[in-house]
Amino acid sequence: MKKFLLIILTLLITASSALSAEKLGVWKNMPISVYIEDNRNSYLMKRCFGDWESSSNKLVRFKYITNEEDADIVVKFVDSVSETAEHAVGLTYPYTNPKGEFFHARIEIAKYSDISTIKLSNFELVKIMRHEIGHALGLPHTNIPYAIMNPTTDKGLNITKDDLKALKEIYQ
């Protein structure tokens, strides 16, 4: 199981679109409205948004809405993420205007890895969800070993000081 987890996390988000060295985008208005598709793991996703809000001392804030069309961030649970994202189990599609401001983001969380039919554990899902929310907030990947934004680590589960430092550079 540990080897499976390492493979999953190593391959996590290998095809995230439009990565830059500093940020993917920035939300100009808070709170950010979020629609989370009804699913047995919706509560985990909402908890992960709450983790970003509380860890950042409400630097980023979210409100949950029931109308998908009005949401800034839409979360969907899918059997597998985009066919162009080989081995990914989570994927964020950020949409920005020419000024680099987000106007929409879509997060997809897979139920399974494409290399296995074993459902992902809550531990794996939480890591993936926190990571994808980071992208939806504008954070790119990092090489810092324990950071949630490191796509290849099996060490990091929590939002770290390094993740928060990067978030503060975008929003302060």
Contact 65, 33 (CB under 8 A): yes
Residue 11 main-chain phi, psi, to 5 deg: -90, -5
Alpha helices in 1-71 (DSSP H): 2-11, 42-55
pLDDT values of the chain reduced to their tens digit, one per residue, 172 residues: 443 333 333 333 333 333 334 678 999 999 999 999 999 999 999 999 999 999 999 999 999 999 999 999 999 999 877 665 556 789 999 999 999 999 999 999 987 765 656 677 888 899 999 999 999 999 999 999 999 999 886 777 899 999 999 999 999 8
Domains belonging to the chain, first-starting first, are 2-171 (3.40.390.10)
